[in-house]
Structure 1
Amino acid sequence: MVDGANLLSVSQRRALSNQLVDAEKRSKHQFVVVTVKSLGGHDVADYSQRLGTFWGIGRKCFNDGVLLVIAPNERKARIAVSEGLREALTDAEAGAILEKDILPRFKTGDMPGGILAGSDAIIREITQ
């Protein structure tokens, strides 16, 4: 969990980090949440793909990582799912999580609530 945009309180970051570690222990799939101040002029999909590749999210031999990127200043969010997890978390399911769990809270100004609800939904999908 990297909160570069400082959207979460210290206790929220700690709780989410613990939740992510627990989910990885149970499922073996790596899930990372990142908030950024800026996408640096990049498209959110391109930024997510580059970041996931650079950080090596997921186990290399299984290609099973998930990355939730939030860029509040550009009003962009994306759930990037590696190929090895597309059965557990399809693009349609990722889109539904954005539309149902994350974006409605963001629209009311509840950034932490959107991040936490989206993370919960992603974890439910990848740990089933």
Structure 2
Amino acid sequence: MLLHGCPVGKVTPAPPVAYAGKHQAPLPQLTGRVMDNAHLLSPAQVAALTRRLAQAEVRTCHQIVVLTVASLAGEPIEHLGQRLGNGWEIGRRGYDDGVLLVVAPAERQVRIEVGNGLRRALTDAEAARIIQKDMVPRFRKGAMADAIDAGTTAILREIS
């Protein structure tokens, strides 16, 4: 089905992909727009965020996935974000217009990976600003769900 010139649908789960490397565990299976593996969000918060991301995808055609991880298991968050973005193929094929927000609370790290098709709308500098101004102050207060919500809102503002 097409809406506003883009295919509309659910996130298609990708199979786990294994990568050989010193710090590279197999990728988890993509199961939805919000994957709260670190248990930072309530079920109601996951549902609300999932709805917002689905609505944004209908409006913009850009796909956003939010992932929290219990641990990076020694892998740099930059590598994990790139592996997930590429392995899960977030965004439309041929447009590379996906965004992945990764939160690793145990290591106190957060990362926004942006597909090449959105780099003009959401630059590395803007992603860093979102993390530093919208997310980190909330994380420092222990308001994990608020930080994720604020980061997601800022990402949506930039790519809409």
Q: Would you say same fold, with TM above 0.5?
A: yes
Identity of aligned residues (%): 54
Considering Cα pairs closer than 8 Å and 6+ residues apart, tell me whether 1 or 2 has the greater RCO.
1
Q: Deviations over 1:66-122 (max 9, x none)?
A: 000000001110001111101111111111000010011001111001000010010
The CA distance in 2 between the partners of 1:38 and 1:64, in whole Å, is 27
How many residues get paired?
127
2:68 partner letter: T
1:80 aligned to 2:113?
yes
5+ residue gaps in structure 1? Answer: none
> For the residues of structure 2 that align with 1:60 and 1:40, how far apart are their CA atoms?
30
Alpha-carbon shift at residue 10 of structure 1 (Å): 0.9
* Structure-2-length-normalised TM-score: 0.78
Q: Which amino acid aligns with 1:123?
A: L
Identify the residue that residue 92 of structure 1 maps to in structure 2. Answer: 125
Is residue 2:52 matched to residue 1:26? Answer: no
User: Going by fraction, where is helix more abundant, 1 or 2?
Assistant: 1
User: 1:51 offset after TM fit, Å?
Assistant: 0.8
Larger radius of gyration between Structure 1 and Structure 2: 2
Query: In 1, Cα distance between the equivalents of 2:116 and 2:84?
Result: 16
- Secondary structure in 2 aligned to 1:67? strand
CA RMSD of aligned residues (A): 0.6
Aligned counterpart in structure 1 of residue 41 of structure 2, from 8, 29, 33: 8
Q: How much has 1:41 moved relative to structure 2?
A: 1.1
